[in-house]
Chains A and B, each alone.
Chain A
């Protein structure tokens, strides 16, 4: 749903990637057993799996689109929504959870107006949860792209993420 409201330039860039997807599919033509591998490559290409890409993969590998979508929705790795320019990951590992990371997550969802796994309409942020990033001493911890933030309190959340365009 959010896809429909996105700006146009992203779609134009996306269109340019399809010939490359078709090359990938060509190598696996009719090989349904390669589905996960091809989806993997497709996601690397687009950053997510747009419906058109799913249809091309289904057609090319001779697999039902309904099965393709089933595989995509089974694995957390695959995403059907475009990823934002910045990835916000809140740790819900045991230590962080005990120290209140759920509250941080609730705040992030509320402020960004998206749920876990979602991307803001302007594609500025994607929101995900992770299970322990090895920063338990700094709990609750979060990541924005490759930067780790420790002892995050929900009132400070916006100050952190607003640094990222």
Chain B
């Protein structure tokens, strides 16, 4: 039922049950928020979205108050402004004011709010609750001094990811966001997905930065430094330079990488195509030989750590394929090193990823198939943008650059790896043709696209029968699928899981903010690139054919096994 109310003199009609905050949005009235997070959390904790409702004695938090019929609401009265300012001043009185040296400087909700509310002085002084800096994780850095206890990280970790690595501990002045027993985040069941760093409104949770280490490698003449970029990076990097979400900046990204001083610019998409050959072959082998099914993808290291912690009994379901950037790292230090006559010892491989979990992944002890650390450093999309800014590169006016051979060329199947359902679709394109020997005319599998939490499809493949597949994104959805596998309810052949909502386009290392609208736009950018590419099936890529001829032999062959595949480690759920 529609109801009518008045906000700042404007009449607006909304569906009953709509919050005052959403009703105001419809009336084009901006109400500031802080703890509120669209699609995830509305708890009215920060008292920033206060509004005056005629007839109500107290101010109401707009995010949790439903609009009601005939209400008269004011969002800009003297009382409202003073109350909001009071709330934010209280937060500031407990804040360390390290803005100039904070990783979130210029992209901080608290900073923006203090500016918008015109706070020029903090009237409250006294002891600060403080907290510790937790640098235990190779992925995430937590600075509890900066935490404003908005709980966004707790909610996203618990409700969306079903991990709950962090929780609000203690009460009052002692309240803090920590794991149980105040253990280090690296010692608990954290997947490193970094969704907390996406939603943290301040600098309390950020990615662990490796920018300085990478600069050092670039400037070291004895090092041969290789960069690779994941598919989802090109669909989001532009946002850091003012482009609207969904702008594809592949050419500028590659040009910027070269200008930064990297010796070679490869593309993770090359390795994504390779993944399809390896993983597709692995799937067909499992189907034919009665191997463990369903087989589940292994490209997302947040997802890998999740299953290791919470479902170690299902590890046999995982594909043994390394994630694409780790494959490329291993090949850079073997295949390319040989080809180019470069000592792999002097090589430094840097991966630009939409991901914080890949920082942990590249430090896993088993990721050394090349005889060296396969990937040396992982930078997030955000860090890569920071490097471009530090170098003073005029991103907007960059002429499109190109990747280097022999590990740059890619197909449309590879580029859609960045969106939920993309790995599945890419695998189906190749598996179908390999299994049947026939040409797949319609390469687009729309059933596995989009932002539904769990997507299912049945694909008839001649000679094999109906292939049943499922796709989950966000670890909460993955958990639902795994529970079905455990109870035997699910009878799929192949499952794709990506740890982050929306897949890598919504990864924990992507530009902030991220919401469903932005996820969909970034995914669309990748699907557009897919359409525009000459080759849209991984096995058609000339570079892929070449590497099998020249170096790898065949998918699942001995070299592949050694360089491109891995094993997993059961971990504690605590």
What is A's interface to B at a CB cutoff of 8 Å? 51, 54-55, 58-59, 64-70, 73-74
Are A65 and B171 closer than 8 Å at their CB atoms? no
Chain A residues with CB under 8 A of B174: 73
Q: Interface 1/0s, chain B 145-169, versus A by CB < 8 A?
A: 0000000000000100001111111
Measured in the bound complex, the distance between the Cα atoms of B164 and A66 in whole Å is 7
Are A65 and B574 closer than 8 Å at their CB atoms? yes
Residue with the highest number of chain A CB atoms closer than 10 Å, among B165, B167, B171: B167
Chain A CB within 8 A of B180 CB: yes
Measured in the bound complex, the distance between the Cα atoms of B189 and A55 in whole Å is 13
Chain A residues with CB under 8 A of B169: 69-70, 73-74
Are B574 and A69 closer than 8 Å at their CB atoms? no
14 examples of A-B residue contacts, CB within 8 angstroms:
A51-B181, A54-B180, A55-B574, A64-B158, A64-B165, A64-B167, A66-B165, A66-B180, A66-B188, A67-B167, A69-B169, A70-B169, A73-B170, A73-B174
- Given the interface contacts A55-B574, A58-B574, does A66 sit within 8 Å of B171 by beta carbon? no
Are A64 and B164 closer than 8 Å at their CB atoms? yes
Residue with the highest number of chain A CB atoms closer than 10 Å, among B158, B164, B171: B164
Chain A residues with CB under 8 A of B178: 66
What is B's interface to A at a CB cutoff of 8 Å? 158, 163-171, 174, 178-181, 188, 573-574
Nearest CB of A to B548, in Å:
45
Measured in the bound complex, the distance between the Cα atoms of B181 and A55 in whole Å is 12
* Nearest A residue to B176, CB-CB: A73
Chain B residues with CB under 8 A of A69: 167, 169, 179-181
Chain B residues with CB under 8 A of A67: 158, 164, 167
* Nearest A residue to B172, CB-CB: A74
- Given the interface contacts A65-B180, A66-B179, A66-B180, does A74 sit within 8 Å of B171 by beta carbon? yes
Residue with the highest number of chain B CB atoms closer than 10 Å, among A55, A65, A74: A65
Measured in the bound complex, the distance between the Cα atoms of B167 and A73 in whole Å is 11
Measured in the bound complex, the distance between the Cα atoms of B573 and A58 in whole Å is 10
Chain A residues with CB under 8 A of B171: 73-74
Chain A residues with CB under 8 A of B158: 64, 67
Chain A residues with CB under 8 A of B170: 73-74
Q: A64-B167, A66-B165 are in contact. List 9 more A-B contacts (CB 8 A).
A: A64-B165, A66-B166, A67-B158, A67-B164, A67-B167, A73-B169, A73-B174, A74-B169, A74-B171
Measured in the bound complex, the distance between the Cα atoms of B182 and A51 in whole Å is 13
Are A70 and B574 closer than 8 Å at their CB atoms? no
Chain B residues with CB under 8 A of A66: 164-167, 178-180, 188
Nearest CB of A to B158, in Å:
7
Nearest CB of A to B205, in Å:
15
Chain B residues with CB under 8 A of A51: 181
Measured in the bound complex, the distance between the Cα atoms of B574 and A66 in whole Å is 8
* Nearest A residue to B177, CB-CB: A70
Measured in the bound complex, the distance between the Cα atoms of B572 and A59 in whole Å is 11
Measured in the bound complex, the distance between the Cα atoms of B162 and A123 in whole Å is 39
Measured in the bound complex, the distance between the Cα atoms of B181 and A70 in whole Å is 9
Measured in the bound complex, the distance between the Cα atoms of B168 and A74 in whole Å is 9
Chain A residues with CB under 8 A of B167: 64, 66-67, 69-70
